[in-house]
Amino acid sequence: MTINYQFPYYPYNQFPPQNGCNQFGAMAMNYPNQQAFRGFENSYIENILRLNLGKTATIYMNFENSQWGSKIFKGELVGAGRDHILIKDNQTNVTYLLLRIYLSYVSFDEDIEYEYPFA
């Protein structure tokens, strides 16, 4: 069995085939084992962070082989994407765009939301 790790997965039936072809002109293939795209998955870090927007987070980053080494950012979690985290330091009023490739871990000063309201 081949596992397709591409994200997001758009099911073929989202684009109605014409004359047996998909939107790219290739023959439409039906893959019954693949599930339709779901906007959120519990296993994705960015979705867990999105559930906790507005909470105070401490983000530990490791910039290996650089002049910065390891750094800690603390502030209000403003946003999270597939490859980045936005955090606002309320003391200095600075917003940081942090690349997740350097992320070591995240801690929160309070309980976090982990259960999806629609799961």
Does residue 51 sit in the same domain as residue 102? Answer: yes
**Between residues 20 and 85, which one has the greater pLDDT?**
85
What is the number of alpha carbons within 13 Å of residue 79 lying toward its C-beta? 10
Banded pLDDT at 23 (limits 50, 70, 90): low
Q: What is the pLDDT of residue 21?
A: 58
Domain that residue 59 falls in: 45-108
CATH (domain of 103):
2.30.30.100
For residue 27, tell me if it sits in a domain: yes
Question: For residue 41, which phi and psi values (nearest 5 degrees)?
Answer: -130, 140
Does residue 61 sit in the same domain as residue 92? Answer: yes
Does residue 98 sit in the same domain as residue 49? Answer: yes
| Out of 30-39, 77-86, 91-100, least confident range | 30-39
Count structural domains, the chain: 2
Does residue 51 sit in the same domain as residue 101? Answer: yes
Q: What is the pLDDT of residue 6?
A: 47
For residue 118, tell me if it sits in a domain: no
